[in-house]
Amino acid sequence: MFEGMKIRTRRRHCLSIFEAAVQAVSPARFLPAHLPAPPETGRLFLMGAGKAAASMADAAEAHYLDTLGFPRERLRGLVATRHGYGVPTRVVTVIEAGHPVPDSQSEMAANALLRLADEAGPGDLVVFLASGGASANLVLPVGAITLEEKKAFNKALLRSGAPIDAMNTVRKHISGIKGGRLAARIAPARLETIALSDVPGDDLATIGSGPTLPDITTLADARAIIERYRITVPDSVRLALEDPANETLKPGDPAFDGSRAVIAARPLDAFTAACAEAEALGYRVINLGNDLEGEARDVAVQHAAVALREAQSGERIALLSGGELTVTIRGEGTGGPNQEYALALAMALGGTPDIVALSADTDGTDGGAGKASDPAGALVDPTTLTRAEAAGLDPLAALERNDSTPFFAALEDLLQTGPTLTNANDLRVILLGS
Q: How far is CA 314 from the centre of its chain?
A: 35
Half-sphere exposure of 262 (CA within 13 A, CB side): 12
Rounded to whole angstroms, the Cα distance separating 79 from 318 reads 38
Number of residues written out for the chain: 434
φ and ψ at 130, to 5 degrees? -105, 140
**pLDDT score for 2:** 54
User: At residue 46, what is the residue type?
Assistant: L
CB 232 within 8 A of CB 156: yes
Domain parsing of the chain, residue ranges: 2-24+268-432, 27-265
Which helix (H) or strand (E) element contains residue 228? helix 219-228
The CATH architecture assigned to 27-265 reads: 3-Layer(aba) Sandwich (3.40)
Per-residue pLDDT of the chain (434 residues; tens, 9 = 90+): 457 889 999 999 999 999 999 999 999 999 999 999 999 999 999 999 999 999 999 999 999 999 999 999 999 999 999 999 999 999 999 999 999 889 999 999 999 999 999 999 999 999 999 999 999 999 999 999 999 999 999 889 988 889 888 999 999 999 999 999 999 999 999 999 999 999 878 999 989 999 999 999 999 999 999 999 999 999 999 999 999 999 999 999 999 999 999 999 999 999 999 999 999 999 999 999 999 999 999 999 999 999 999 999 999 999 999 999 999 888 889 999 999 999 999 999 999 999 999 999 999 999 767 788 899 999 999 999 999 999 999 999 999 999 999 999 999 999 999 999 999 999 999 999 97
Superfamily for 2-24+268-432? MOFRL domain (3.40.1480.10)
DSSP-assigned beta bridge partners for residue 75: 44
Q: What's the CA angle centered on 341, arms 272 and 348, to 5 degrees?
A: 110
**pLDDT score for 263:** 97
Maximal C-alpha separation, the chain: 70
Distances (CA, A) of 332 to 93, 152, 356, 415: 37, 15, 28, 22
1: helix, strand or coil: coil
**pLDDT score for 328:** 87
Which helix (H) or strand (E) element contains residue 265? strand 260-265
Rounded to whole angstroms, the Cα distance separating 60 from 27 reads 9
